């Protein structure tokens, strides 16, 4: 794993507009990324975000529908249907093969990018990644480290 920080705006597509999608979109927007949310319905907090919203069913999309995006977050639960799982796995492979950065929140091993939990403390950015199965623990570690860094920078 090699950590990177994106310093130029990308066209970012966040698939899913529940809590996870909202958090991914808000974080990307906070880093000046150009965000679009795609979902069949949007949570109130996702609806309030100042980004483009596309009301659509992912499983009706074609590969060409993703052509304008450089980074694609799948921020939705993994489907229960074997047919949808196979379709989604195939789409993710095609997106990666076409040069897209793909983050699959619920199955990080399928993507080629992992989005760490991060916190900004002054001029510093802390980022912590876990296995993908423990987001609450990763968040708690990140918040603890951020508090420690804040205390350290205030005392120096």
One digit per residue, pLDDT tens: the chain, 156 residues? 666 778 889 999 999 999 889 989 998 998 899 999 999 999 999 999 999 999 999 999 999 999 999 999 999 999 999 999 999 999 999 999 999 999 998 898 999 998 888 888 998 988 888 766 677 888 899 999 999 999 999 988
Helix (H) or strand (E) holding 37: strand 34-39
- Which residue, chain included where needed, has tokens 């009706």? 60
pTM: 0.86
Q: CB–CB of 36/14 below 8 Å?
A: yes
Residue 30: left (phi > 0), alpha (psi -120 to 50), or beta?
Answer: alpha
Task: Collect all residues with Cβ–Cβ distance below 8 Å to 96 and sequence separation of at least 6.
Answer: 102, 111, 112
Max Cα-Cα span within the chain? 57
């Amino acid at each position: 794993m090699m950590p990177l920080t994106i310093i130029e705006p990308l066209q970012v597509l966040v698939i899913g507009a529940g809590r996870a999608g909202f958090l991914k979109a808000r974080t990307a927007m906070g880093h000046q990324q150009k965000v679009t949310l795609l979902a069949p319905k949007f949570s109130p907090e996702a609806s309030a975000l100042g980004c483009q919203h596309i009301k659509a069913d992912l499983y009706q999309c074609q590969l060409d529908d993703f052509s304008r995006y450089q980074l694609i977050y799948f921020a939705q639960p993994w489907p229960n249907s074997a047919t949808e799982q196979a379709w989604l796995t195939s789409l993710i492979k095609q997106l990666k093969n076409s040069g897209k950065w793909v983050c699959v929140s619920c199955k990080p091993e399928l993507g080629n990018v992992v989005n760490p939990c991060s916190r900004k403390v002054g001029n510093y950015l802390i980022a912590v990644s876990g296995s993908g199965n423990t987001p609450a623990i990763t968040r708690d570690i990140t918040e603890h480290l951020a508090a420690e860094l804040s205390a350290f920078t205030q005392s120096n």
